[in-house]
Structure 1
Amino acid sequence: MSDYLLVLYFSRDGATAEMARLVARGAEEGGLEARLRTVPPVSADCEATGPAVPEAGAPYATMDDLANCAALALGSPTRFGNMAAPLKYFFDNSSGLWMKGALSGKPAGVFTSTGSMHGGQETTLLSMMLPLLHHGMLISGLPYSEPDLAQTRDGGTPYGPSHVAGIDGKLPLTQVEKNLCQALGRRLAHLAKALKGKL
């Protein structure tokens, strides 16, 4: 097992990507290297192809990135209260890791961005936990000992950080939302370090 937090995300308009960078910053504040990775979009056209390397942003994730991480932070915009199809597709192809128990016992957390306050933040976060639970990962949310969680009027849930991006996806992250993203990264780093060699 390598000593890094895999921050795996899909982002269409940039909000989830910004959250991913903040989670990564929090992990590094917590003393753990962060590795940012994304996934390519999926297409209904079976002949559609894209470049093997994204033109901008984080590299595409591989199963090796996932298998060898010490912890995972998974981020997605909401799609009708569920995770985006590209992330679901990526995990649909992870049965080889499931059969080996490669992720079992590793800490994981989730984060999301929605167009509106009640746009499915909590259901999206919960849906993202399902494949992680099947892989035997140890799910961590955000405790109310994080003072920003108890006072947020923006995004932020005990299930994981969230952001209200607005219908056009252009609203910037508030300071509270940024703080909670970094808190998740720090928490996962501390958990990974505490669990190292104990499972």
Structure 2
Amino acid sequence: MTTNIQIIFYSMYGHVYQLAEAIASGAREVTGAEVSVFQVPELVPEAVLEKSGAKSARTQFSHVAIADVEHLAKADAIIFGTPTRFGNMCAQMRNFLDQTGGLWARGALIAKLGSVFTSTASQHGGQETTLTSFHTTLLHHGMLVVGAPYSCPELGNMAEISGGTPYGASTVAKLDGSRQPSENELAIARFQGKHVATIASRLTAAPAR
């Protein structure tokens, strides 16, 4: 039986995109998982993206299709990725989610799995508040929230600076954005993708009652 896993992200400089690809890789390890990766629409003017250097950085994921709100209803699990903006999700992701009122009205996402990953510029830049505050929207939709439990060994790595929380995968980009996701962080992301897809596949295979 096929399990539909959707990964919906926003990335400005590519850090969240790299986590999204790692999560997709982990999810694809699960037999029957059909994994799709989408990005939410950009809201920042082209001139601002150009000036900040984000425009050139975004070429690495320019091929990724734009997410369609209505398409979410087809998923068995949705894994959302957003950079942190002052301890919360970015405006682009908030704008996308604010268009899901129709799905909420008809309960289209109830009992689907929801999971979140993020990035911050600094080590204590609001990763956990971004992830847990994102969960509020998922719960309003009636989704079942899934994190990255401590059965993921990389969460206990104390030998280096690393993102990664029990609420979801994360990376630290450094204040200038020069730090790229580490192998430890990518391993946590792969774990999260596989973990979500495994649970989703069990639920889709369960007999209806």
Which residue of the partner structure matches residue 51 of structure 1? Answer: none
Q: CA RMSD in A?
A: 1.9
TM (norm. structure 2) is 0.86
Q: Could you tell me how far apart the structure 2 residues matched to 1:103 and 1:169 are? A: 34
Moved over 4 A (4+): none
Q: Could you tell me how far apart the structure 2 residues matched to 1:110 and 1:170 are? A: 23
Q: Relative to total residues, which structure has the larger helix share, 1 or 2?
A: 2
Identical residues among aligned pairs (%): 40
Which residue of the partner structure matches residue 48 of structure 2? Answer: none
* Distance apart, 1:57 and its partner CA: 3.1
Contact 1:78/1:121 (8 A) holds in 2: yes
TM (norm. structure 1) is 0.90
Q: 1:171 aligns with which of 179, 184, 193?
A: 179
Is 1:38 equivalent to 2:39 in the alignment?
Answer: yes
SS of structure 2 residue aligned to 1:77: strand
Letter in 1 for 2:84: T
Which residue of the partner structure matches residue 116 of structure 1? Answer: 122
1:119-130 equivalent positions in 2, closer than 5 A: 119-130=125-136
Which residue of the partner structure matches residue 7 of structure 1? Answer: 7
Question: How many corresponding residue pairs?
Answer: 190
Which residue of the partner structure matches residue 55 of structure 2? Answer: none
Q: Deviations over 1:3-51 (max 9, x none)?
A: 321100000000001110110111001231210001112259xxxxxxx
Q: Could you tell me how far apart the structure 2 residues matched to 1:73 and 1:166 are? A: 24
Letter in 1 for 2:134: M
Q: 2:191 aligns with which of 159, 183, 186?
A: 183
Most deviating of 125-134 and 76-85: 125-134
SS of structure 2 residue aligned to 1:183: helix
Q: Deviations over 1:127-150 (max 9, x none)?
A: 211111100111011111111112
Most deviating of 27-36 and 156-165: 27-36
Which residue of the partner structure matches residue 160 of structure 1? Answer: 168
Contact 2:121/2:173 (8 A) holds in 1: yes
* Ranges in structure 1 where 5+ consecutive residues have no aligned partner: 45-53
1:44-123 equivalent positions in 2, closer than 5 A: 56-123=62-129
Contact 1:74/1:128 (8 A) holds in 2: no
* Ranges in structure 2 where 5+ consecutive residues have no aligned partner: 46-57
Q: Could you tell me how far apart the structure 2 residues matched to 1:33 and 1:170 are? A: 33
Contact 2:70/2:103 (8 A) holds in 1: no
Most deviating of 168-177 and 184-193: 168-177
Q: Deviations over 1:128-187 (max 9, x none)?
A: 111111001110111111111122531000000010011121211111101000001001
Which residue of the partner structure matches residue 196 of structure 1? Answer: 204
Q: Deviations over 1:90-135 (max 9, x none)?
A: 1111011111111111111100011000011001111211111100
Q: Could you tell me how far apart the structure 1 residues matched to 2:26 and 2:162 are? A: 20
